Amino acid sequence: MRLSDLQSKDIVNIVDGRNIGNIIDVKVDEKSGTIVSLLVEAKGKFMSFAKNEDVEIKWQNIERIGEDVILVKLN
């Protein structure tokens, strides 16, 4: 799976059903090359110069990656 495949998916929090936003980047462990977390641009922030509201989602918080959606568990 490529980053571009992940970026096309909606990210939904299974705790409250909220659509979190879109993936803008990933953090990768330099030694192992594995994904550590996803960086998500907060929904509704498009072209905003407001305070940085990006969300970092740790890889262990991802419950399932489906065809159209990524389900995460955030409290």
| 44-72: pLDDT as tens digits | 554 555 555 789 999 999 999 999 999 99
pLDDT of 4 reads 87
Average pLDDT along the chain: 87
In the chain, the percentage of residues whose pLDDT exceeds 70 is 87
The model carries a pTM of 0.80
Strands 69-72 and 10-13: parallel
Please work out, in degrees rounded to the nearest 5, the angle formed at the alpha carbon of residue 51 by the alpha carbons of 23 and 27. 35
Closest CA to 5 of 67, 57, 59: 67
Looking at residue 1, its pLDDT comes to 76
pLDDT at 54: 86
